[in-house]
């Protein structure tokens, strides 16, 4: 088998699994920063602002591509920005389990948007994978004590809008196939910084009185965490249908459950293991379908 062809099949899948793993554990350093007085909004602004400062030269180097694709890149950046900021606000203000459940309606949005905007259709195998993944997510996150998974307050609506924005940003990633990953990443970082800054101004959230060490920790989280996470997710999403990447990215739920088990005193229930197993199974099936498509 040709080695380069094998790489082309596996790298997008491995990229998405890697970024899902990072997203599944990034809550922990964010929680530590918040515990030291740096709110989620300011953590996002400092982390993503640092990345944007480091990579602002990309906007100059790729200005021709930027101008040729300014509208989809603008919409992608704003979608990514709202996704991140709304999710942070929802987690801070709402019930975490409900927020996760409502956010992970994103595969459903991905299927709808992919159908409408990209003319991507689900065949029988993809539909089965999608059903297994979504069922696994519901089993994993469902709790009768938190009620029917339908928005009922501001935090819930923020979670739903965040999941929708995530799916929408991935659609624009797919529509800009001729744009380099680094330029798309810079557009995404710009969107997060813009939305976070606007939210801070509108909410009059002044900079907390924290030590320089905490600010440097947020900077390090940006350069060592969010930077890598953005590049890997954009690389993977660019190279496969959005409904398939959405299924693979659900692997984040499994990692989140495992990380909470190891890093906190939370207990993972049997239904959560069952849901996680279904998500992993669906992710493996999606990867095999992708490999088969590449062979074809």
Select from 221, 171, 209, 211 the least CA-distant residue to 50.
Answer: 221
Q: Is the dihedral of CA 117, 162, 249, 152 positive or negative?
A: negative
Q: What is the pLDDT along the chain (296 residues), one digit of tens a residue?
A: 444 544 567 788 889 889 988 887 888 888 889 889 998 899 999 999 999 999 999 999 999 999 999 999 999 999 999 998 888 777 767 666 566 667 766 666 766 776 777 676 666 766 676 677 677 767 766 666 655 555 567 877 888 888 889 888 888 888 888 898 899 999 999 999 999 999 999 988 888 889 999 999 999 999 999 999 999 988 988 887 776 777 777 777 777 777 777 776 666 667 767 776 776 676 666 656 655 555 44
Give the pLDDT of residue 261: 73
- Residue spans per domain, the chain: 20-295
> At how many degrees (to 10) do helices 3-25 and 270-295 cross?
150
d(CA 75, CA 173): 10
Kindly provide the b/e burial profile for residues 1-35, where b requires at least 16 CB atoms within 10 angstroms of the residue's own CB.
eeeeeeeebeebbbbbbbbbbbbbbbeebbeebbe
Select from 104, 246, 223, 225 the least CA-distant residue to 171.
Answer: 246
> Tokens 């890697």 correspond to what residue?
18
d(CA 182, CA 268): 38
Select from 100, 106, 108, 101 the least CA-distant residue to 149.
Answer: 101
Which DSSP letter does residue 2 get?
-
pTM of this structure = 0.80
Give the pLDDT of residue 1: 45
Measured distance between the N- and C-terminal CA atoms of the chain, rounded to whole angstroms: 14
> Tokens 């696994």 correspond to what residue?
136
Give the pLDDT of residue 272: 65
Give the pLDDT of residue 154: 81
Instruction: Count other C-beta atoms under 10 Å from residue 177's C-beta.
Output: 8
Give the pLDDT of residue 97: 59
Tell me if 287 sits within 8 A of 129, measured CB to CB. Answer: no
Tell me if 86 sits within 8 A of 94, measured CB to CB. Answer: no
Q: Phi-psi bin for 37: left (phi > 0), alpha (psi -120 to 50), beta?
A: left
């Amino acid at each position: 088998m040709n080695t380069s062809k094998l790489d082309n099949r596996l790298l997008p899948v491995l990229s998405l699994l890697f970024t899902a793993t990072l997203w599944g554990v990034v809550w922990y350093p964010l929680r530590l920063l918040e515990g030291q007085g740096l709110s989620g909004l300011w953590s996002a602004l400092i982390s993503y602002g640092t990345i944007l400062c480091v990579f602002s030269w990309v906007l100059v180097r790729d200005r021709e591509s930027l101008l040729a694709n300014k509208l989809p890149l603008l919409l992608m950046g704003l979608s990514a920005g709202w996704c991140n900021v709304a999710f942070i606000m929802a987690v801070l203000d709402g019930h975490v389990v409900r927020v996760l459940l409502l956010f992970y309606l994103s595969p459903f949005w991905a299927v709808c948007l992919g159908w409408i905007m990209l003319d991507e259709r689900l065949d029988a195998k993809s539909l089965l994978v999608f059903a297994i993944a979504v069922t696994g997510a519901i089993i994993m996150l469902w709790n009768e004590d938190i009620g029917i998974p339908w928005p009922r307050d501001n935090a819930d609506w923020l979670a739903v809008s965040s999941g929708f924005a995530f799916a929408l940003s991935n659609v624009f990633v797919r529509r800009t196939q001729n744009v380099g990953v680094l330029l798309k990443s810079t557009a995404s970082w710009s969107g997060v910084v813009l939305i976070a800054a606007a939210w801070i101004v509108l909410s009059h959230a002044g900079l907390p009185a924290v030590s320089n060490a905490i600010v440097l920790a947020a900077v390090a989280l940006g350069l060592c965490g969010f930077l890598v996470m953005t590049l890997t997710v954009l690389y993977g999403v660019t190279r496969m249908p959005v409904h398939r990447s959405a299924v693979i990215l659900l692997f984040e739920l499994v990692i989140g459950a495992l990380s909470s088990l190891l890093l906190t005193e939370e207990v993972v229930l049997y239904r959560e293991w069952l849901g996680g197993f279904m998500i992993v199974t669906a992710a493996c099936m999606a990867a095999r379908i992708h490999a088969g498509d590449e062979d074809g």
